[in-house]
Amino acid sequence: DGFCLPEWDGIVCWPEGVPGKVVAMPCPEYIYDFNHKGHAYRRCDLNGSWELVPGNNRTWANYSECAKFLTNETREREVFDRLYLIYTVGYSISLGSLTVAVLILGYFRRLHCTRNYIHMHLFVSFMLRAMSIFVKDAVLYSGSALEEMERISEEDLKSITEAPPADKSQFVGCKVAVTFFLYFLATNYYWILVEGLYLHSLIFMAFFSEKKYLWGFTLFGWGLPAVFVTAWASVRATLADTECWDLSAGNLKWIVQVPILAAIVVNFILFINIIRVLATKLRETNAGRCDSRQQYRKLLKSTLVLMPLFGVHYIVFMAMPYTDVSGILWQVQMHYEMLFNSFQGFFVAIIYCFCNGEVQAEIKKSWSRWTLALDFKRKARSGSTTYSYGPMVSHTSITNVATRGALALHLNTRLIPGTLNGHRNLPGYVKNGSISENSMPSSGPEQYNKDEEYLNGSGLYDGDRPTVLVEEERETVM
Domains of the chain: 1-70 (4.10.1240.10), 73-354 (1.20.1070.10), 359-477 (no CATH)
135 compared with 29, residue with greater pLDDT: 135
Average pLDDT, the chain: 73
Chain mean position to CA 171: 28
Task: Tell me the pLDDT band of 105, cut-offs 50, 70 and 90.
Answer: very high
Given this model, what pLDDT does residue 406 score?
A: 42
* Cα 342 from Cα 448, distance rounded (Å): 36
The closest alpha carbon to 251, from 240, 237, 265, belongs to: 240
pLDDT tens per residue, range 431-440 = 444 433 343 4
pTM above 0.75, yes or no: no
Contact 104, 363 (CB under 8 A): yes
pLDDT tens per residue, range 346-380 = 999 998 899 888 899 999 998 888 888 888 888 88
Contact 436, 471 (CB under 8 A): no
The closest alpha carbon to 51, from 15, 17, 28, 1, belongs to: 17
Rg (CA), the chain: 31
317 compared with 117, residue with greater pLDDT: 117
Give the amino acid at 288: G
